[in-house]
Amino acid sequence: MEKEINNILDISSMFTRYLWGEERFDYKNVVLMIMDGMGCGVLERHLSADSFLRRHMVKEIATVFPSTTTAATTTLKTGLPPAEHGWFGWDMYFAEDNKIVTLYMNTDYSFKRLPFRAFYDRESDIDIYTCFPGYVKYGCADKNFYHKTTEQFFANIDRVCKVDGKKFVYSYCGEPDRFMHDNGVGSAKDLVKQINDDIEKLVTQNPDTLFVITADHGHIDVTEHIEIYKDADIMECLNHYPTLEPRATAYHVKAGMHESFRKAFKKYEQDFDLFATGELIDRGVFGEFKGEENKRFLGDYISIGKESNKAFLLNPDQPKLKGSHTGMTRDEMIVPLVIIRNK
């Protein structure tokens, strides 16, 4: 199994084949568990080499770019790269309504403009369950279990695994990402250790279960926030506030202002690489585009944060988070593949 998986898209593809009957695993329960932000760098920082999760990690794999929940979890749900599903980042500009939309906080609008179908939202001879926090709106209608705490998250998975019959469980937990945003990666040691212990307990209590555990992205400590929306030289060149993410930022530049924009951005080049969006598209960093429609969300240029771990604030409402991600550094892009075959 692990030989087939090199990125999170491969995980989704494997379980799609499983539910369609093309690839079957001889277990009562098959559980996919996604721990938000729990990249390899976080595990290495807070868990010893002999901890339960690190002992069972079979390899390092890559997430998608931008390395953010919006893009990565949509890839995990759909089996599509960001280029196809179009959910590139937290804030995206929709020209048809001339507004910047926070996708996860405006789900009714987002699903209307960028609809998708999850790979587990289909008929199968295997019972399908989902376990999500309350703010996630795309679970199985009749077999979804919501949670508010990590304790409830693991309890829900345990509850589902004890139901009779073969089943697949797609589960997602917003920790430790939420804690690290508020407190920084360095403060998450106790939480990550607790998650490790809770997963070990869950595995022990559920024989005849295949657990596949990964993360949607990694996480870094932010060294400085830069209020780019206050930069008059930059904003003069743009049609609206920058979009997408603090370390993977898209700029829609006014006609005739491209040279001025590139010149104005030079002051940030020590901490951010600036690319023409077309260059990144040609390099395939978003996956393969099947059409032109989704390219509009990426603007004319994209800046990507370097190892100095600085983050842009894109608008006046964006909070100064102590932890962040969305860039291309190892700590942001590389996540664990943990496989536990509990027979």
∠ CA 121-122-126, rounded to 5°: 105
Task: Examine residue 66 and say whether the peptide bond preceding it is cis (omega within 30 degrees of 0).
Answer: yes
- Statement: residue 140 has pLDDT above 70: no
Residues with Cβ within 8 Å of 118's Cβ and at least 6 positions away in sequence, in order, are 77, 78, 138, 170
- Statement: residue 139 has pLDDT above 70: no
Across 106-110, 267-271, 325-329, least confident range: 106-110
- DSSP three-state, residue 30: strand
Kindly tell me the sign of the dihedral angle through the C-alpha atoms of 314, 253, 69, 136.
positive
User: What is the fold, at CATH topology level, of the domain defined by 223-320?
Assistant: Gyrase A; domain 2 (3.30.1360)
pLDDT of 208-241, one tens digit each? 999 999 999 999 999 999 999 999 999 999 999 9
Q: Is 287 left (phi over 0), alpha (psi -120 to 50) or beta?
A: left
Q: Residues of CATH 3.30.1360.180 domain(s) within the chain?
A: 223-320
Select from 3.30.70.420, 3.40.720.10, 3.40.47.10, 3.40.50.720 the CATH code of 2-80+116-220+329-342. Answer: 3.40.720.10
Q: Residues of CATH 3.40.720.10 domain(s) within the chain?
A: 2-80+116-220+329-342
